[in-house]
Amino acid sequence: MRAALLVWAAWTGVALVFMLYIMLPSRAAQDPWEWLRATAWQLVSWWSWAVWTPLVVAVTRHAVSLRSSVRLLTVHLAAGVVVSGLCTMLQGALRWAVFRGVRIHYDIAGASSLPLADEWSFNLVVYGLVVGVFYAQRAGRLEAQLTQARLDALAARLRPHFLFNTLHTISALVLEDPQAANRMIARLAELLRQAFSRGDEAEVTLGEELRLLEHYVAIQEERFGDRLRVTVDVELDANQALVPALLLQPLVENAVTHGLAGGERHGAVTVRVEGSRQGQRLRLVVRDDGPGFGAGRGVERVGLAGTRARLTDRYGSAQRLEVTDGPGGGVVVTIEIPFATDAGSDR
């Protein structure tokens, strides 16, 4: 409902701007009735676009999942022709219904007699502007979400209790096992170096993501000892696939946190990370054998709403994120996205 109101408010604003642009220099501006008729004309014209905007947004969301520029342009060209034609017919029908028998003197009155091709061409331009606004907003959301994901991931690694526990473990090992203490210090330094050196990359290869994850896992395994075991089983071909930056670490952290939260009965947990290419799809699975929590509450419990939003904005309907209870206990998080090895690939 809120989105629909925003759409109607936006097109109302466009209608009023066009009305002022046309009426202010017009000779008919002295007639109050002409102002009213001009406003009605513009509202009828632009509210027609409010009707079709949800369809344009739906088409654009679907087109987001297309990794090929040729396919993207083809979809938008076809949709633009159809939507512009439908909007032109709706505008004509509404104008005829509302303004038949009404004489309009302001300059835009000639639009009622514009050739159909000219009216359709103008609406095709409007379609392009709507799509452009959508992509501009999407780019802003992706940048904000990437920034937030990076901040969240860094906060997860740098938050006081994580650093305190890691440093406490190191201090305990300094005398008992100096080599283990040195390993943890090196892992922590490398993890921080990689996290800060990634810059603003929106996508990285799965192999790069796994290398960062390796340092996080090593620290956690050193910290929890026999209580935690993490295994990674990723097909060689899948390592070249592009994934959103900082995708895996939050999933593994959730598996560790909730897997070890089961008390004495679930005092140890095994986390398994799997990756495979399935045709034109990349499939990632993070599973643990902890206590589980019920599939119906999965997304809220493990905090995957941000991950779901990032995947939806980047891949549209071509992505899938599913959270379920494991067959033998624990939680299984499954992600499927299009397989691509570079920004323009459609492999």
Give the tokens for residue 120.
């359709």
For residues 85 and 257, which has the higher predicted lDDT (pLDDT)? 85
For the question of whether the overall pTM of this predicted structure is more than 0.75, the answer is no
Contacts of 27 (CB under 8 A, 6+ apart): 105
* pLDDT of the residue at 277: 95
Q: How confident is the model at residue 320 (pLDDT cuts 50, 70, 90)?
A: very high
For residues 210 and 33, which has the higher predicted lDDT (pLDDT)? 210
Q: How far is CA 327 from CA 289, 324, 332, in A?
A: 9, 9, 9
Is the pLDDT score of 189 beyond 70? Answer: yes
* pLDDT of the residue at 232: 95
**61-70, 144-153, 222-231, 282-291, range with the lowest pLDDT:** 144-153
Q: How confident is the model at residue 199 (pLDDT cuts 50, 70, 90)?
A: low
Task: Give the CA angle between residues 153, 156, 158 to the nearest 5°.
Answer: 105
Q: How confident is the model at residue 243 (pLDDT cuts 50, 70, 90)?
A: very high
Mean pLDDT computed over 295-315: 64
Residue (of 333, 243, 313) closest to 282 by Cα position:
243
Mean pLDDT computed over 138-164: 65
Question: Would the CA dihedral through 169, 172, 177, 183 be positive or negative?
Answer: positive
Burial of 333-344, coded b for 16+ CB within 10 Å and e otherwise, reads bebbbbbbeeee
Is the pLDDT score of 235 beyond 90? Answer: yes
Mean pLDDT computed over 8-26: 83
* pLDDT of the residue at 111: 43
Q: Walk across the sheet containing 281-288 and list its strands.
A: 228-234, 269-278, 281-288, 331-338, 320-325
Q: How confident is the model at residue 195 (pLDDT cuts 50, 70, 90)?
A: low
Domains of the chain, CATH where assigned: 2-138 (no CATH), 198-338 (3.30.565.10)
Q: Would you say 249 and 230 are in contact if contact means Cβ atoms under 8 Å apart?
A: no
Residue with tokens 């897997």: 259
Is the pLDDT score of 326 beyond 90? Answer: no
Is the pLDDT score of 297 beyond 50? Answer: no
**Residue 249: what residue type?**
Q
Three-state SS letters, the chain:
CHHHHHHHHHHHHHHHHHHHHHHCCCHHHHCHHHHHHHHHHHHHHHHHHHHHHHHHHHHHHHHHCCCCHHHHHHHHHHHHHHHHHHHHHHHHHHHHHHHCCCCCCCHHHHHHHCCHHHHHHHHHHHHHHHHHHHHHHHHHHHHHHHHHHHHHHHHHHHCHHHHHHHHHHHHHHHHHCHHHHHHHHHHHHHHHHHHHHCCCCCEEEHHHHHHHHHHHHHHHHHHHHHHEEEEEEECCHHHHCEEECCCHHHHHHHHHHHHHHHCCCCCCEEEEEEEEEECCEEEEEEEECCCCCCHHHHHHHHCCHHHHHHHHHHHHHHCEEEEEECECECEEEEEEEECCCCCCCCC
**Residue 338: what residue type?**
P
As a whole number, the mean pLDDT across the chain is: 79
